[in-house]
Structure 1
């Protein structure tokens, strides 16, 4: 069995059997491609079936010099899953990573913005900004408001469709990881900003494959993930905010602010689209001072 054939089979398995999205499949494949490149560069002819733990250890040692512990752990986990798949398909009987330990890493707490930070970033947007006759300032405000008000992943935002908007019911339909769909509440303020953008969008010559996409560039095409990152990066620089902010920061802030204001963890899990509530529980560690205040206020043994 050749490496690229094995990788292609694995990607097919992730798509059909696991129901993963294209982005997730690419992430799973990334570290396997690194291993393949390492073998090619060093003229090593071992196949996915014959490669042993010694060679895998050499590769991990080689590549880990430039990786932090978290990235090393992800690398090892990704390769372990790949070889588990080969065992599942009866190509191998052992996993060469079984005896390789992942580096110990602390639990990374998500970065968050305060409500004042978010207000600052949104107020920094030039609502009169136009490019090629299209008002992109209003679009950018609608994007930030949607990220924060609905807790979306950036991939969910750029794939949001006009047909996913159920404003009369107060919800939007979101397609998340593994193409799993969920309904997320959306407030009137954010609805209004989206409606303003929709009225501008009506004057754009939309490309055929983006007819139902909500957020477009001036060419009438769906926005890329990189473009959303760029929009936010420029706003952060312009605002003078001294924080590392990405689209995901708005999602973290959405969950944190809900929890701080008394929202039920299970409800937050459903809105975020987390498969396991243990993923959502990380927000319980974000603001310990708030939890202490809750205890002091509501528990009889203060």
Structure 2
């Protein structure tokens, strides 16, 4: 059974997509079979990895993207998988093993137009379809929006673990605190929809400090975040082994260049002084791979 992991913070702008895309790429580089599911209607992961030349036609199509799976008879998740999504100029696969379920701007309609014929919530439909393909992968990573609405619920309901990207600032701490409360509410609502064979309800397992500017002292923000994690541990609201990752990802111009090129950072040509952030992503992936998970 794969490790299914949601990345989410109630605060936007924490570099979540750059973290998820590059962790997925690093895991694939290690030989893991990885599926990245873009659950954010902004479609940043999808646009990054497909580039606009492949994503633009999808944005006007009726099928092949995440929103279409909620319209009976249109698509299933299996139909939407973009195999070996990272491609070169000649269409060659540059990173075999990294697949994508893309989204488009239409996903925003899920929040106000969705009504299943059988009355089931979106997350239950999504879980049923994901179960048909999940064993093709070692890791399934969910790029969630900064909320716990319908799209994010799909990832959270299916996940075995949750990680919170954060910046070293007060707003990230507030977003983390809000997220824990919203997760508790959702887990209570969705409990009756869990089916045999699903892993236990996902818990927040860690916080990853991301996109840290040079010369920024993170000791105090890190201390405050650790204090909050300890509070939530004592209340049973996060995993008992929840922690702040040892590796902190630095901000770097190469990340913006990677988006423009439609490549993960480690496939971008060398820039002077930019190797550090590549190493950061590799080390976070190594920490993530070292996390243990009890299999159901």
TM-score if structure 2 supplies the norm length? 0.23
Q: Which has the higher contact order (CA 8 A, sep 6+)?
A: 2
Q: Which has the higher strand share?
A: 2
Q: Which has the higher helix share?
A: 1
